[in-house]
Structure 1
């Protein structure tokens, strides 16, 4: 029975995502962004099918395994565009450091203004790093891992839905800048959108995602000692 549910869950996930790609090409809006549309659709299908998250988790783990090779594959466009990356190395490093600092400080300020609990504050400070790293950091600072996963997913989804459109609205069109913004703020989900826009955007977004995760994992624990 478990094998059937796992295969069904994988089939549903892949099919829904492929259909969402077609929908977003025909009706391009933030709410037809594949990561948002497919997430909502899959949740509804699993609810109707009476499949719990625990049952779905096996399929999720299998599909997540392939994220490793996909992430490593980002090194290919990075290598191909290494000359441009070196040319803009200083602004890239500056942008990643400032971006990471702003995401952390804005979370702290928001939590203080709204008088949020320490658990919520801890979860908010690591909202812009990818889930695997965020989970490990959460253990070190005593953050609620459910909250952490929720904030990380919401942040990534919001960036994927509105990030590129907001950058265009602000007249930011340079591929380095666009990829840098998405990778720094919206981690892997934003990087997925950056890859779809262009090779350079995807490459720099992958670099920013990794740098932000490393920098945040070193900085955040010092605030919660």
Structure 2
């Protein structure tokens, strides 16, 4: 039990699970074997099967969470390399970010109402398309449940990573800036990793869109907060 109480326990099983996910994905190239999805499933299954309390895992898992913010900041590097494109398309990027954020929030509210979800679950899902550190704060400000928000953010990122390429092809989105903005706005860092595989421009625009989506959602959440009683 002493070994489980060590932060290295959570770190070790997280890295091992992720590496197994990477290996499976490389061997099969099957979208559902996304390393994040496989890793999360393995960690959950391991903790459940051996009846290990979440508190033991969190000692190491929280360390990984701590590095989410500086990890997100590093996405500014490819953006810096594409400053000329940012200056050229800044109007389209900002408008795309605003429309995308509004669409995400509106669709979440409509679907939650159609499915009859409780209000507390509804507001927990609203920040699902923005990066985790900002999403947690938005969830708290709206009276949501942060762990559910984190789950929805991770799931959204995984879906973006898996389906981004197919959806761009389906809707014939060919411009690299448009691809990057669409992926970053809808699926934050999880989708951005796929955007970076698609190309440097796509990755840079997706990284920028994470910031835009976060800022816009923060602003909109302040407005939504005043109308929560009507939702």
TM-score, normalised by the number of residues in structure 1: 0.89
Shift of 1:216: 0.6
- Unaligned runs of 5+ residues in structure 2 are 227-231
Q: Which SS does the other structure have where 2:29 is aligned? A: coil
CA distance in 1, matches of 2:113, 2:134: 25
| Range that drifts further, 106-115 or 31-40 | 106-115
Q: Which residue of 2 aligns with 1:205?
A: 206
Distance 1:67 1:117 in 2: 29
Post-superposition Cα deviations, 1:101-142, rounded to whole Å, max 9, x if no partner, equal: 100111122223333322122123222122221221222221
Q: 1:152 to 1:119 in 2, by over 3 A?
A: same
Structure 1 residue 49: Cα displacement = 4.2
Match for residue 131 of structure 1?
132
The change in CA–CA distance for 1:220 and 1:6 in structure 2 (over 3 A counts) is same
Q: Which residue of 1 aligns with 2:229?
A: none
- Unaligned segments of structure 1, at least 5 residues: none
Q: Does 1:106 align with 2:146?
A: no
Shift of residue 59 of structure 1? 0.9
Query: How many Å apart are 1:68 and its aligned residue?
Result: 3.2
2:30 matched to which residue of 1?
Answer: 29
**Which residue is 1:187 aligned to?**
188
Q: Secondary structure at the match of 2:130?
A: coil
Q: 1:36, 1:161 within 8 Å by CA — same for their partners in 2?
A: no
Question: TM-score scaled by structure 2?
Answer: 0.87
Q: What per-residue deviation string (whole Å, max 9, x for no partner) do you get for residues 179-207 of structure 1?
A: 21221111222222223333222221111
SS of the residue corresponding to residue 85 of structure 1 reads helix
- Which residues of 2 match residues 110-189 of structure 1 at below 5 A? 110-189=111-190
The Cα offsets for residues 6-36 of structure 1, whole Å up to 9 and x where unpaired, read as 2132122223323322322231222111111
Q: Which deviates more, 207-216 or 24-33?
A: 24-33
Q: Aligned in 2, Cα 1:221/1:11: closer, same or farther, shift over 3 Å?
A: same
With over 3 angstroms needed to count, the CA separation of the structure-2 counterparts of 1:5 and 1:193, relative to structure 1, is: farther
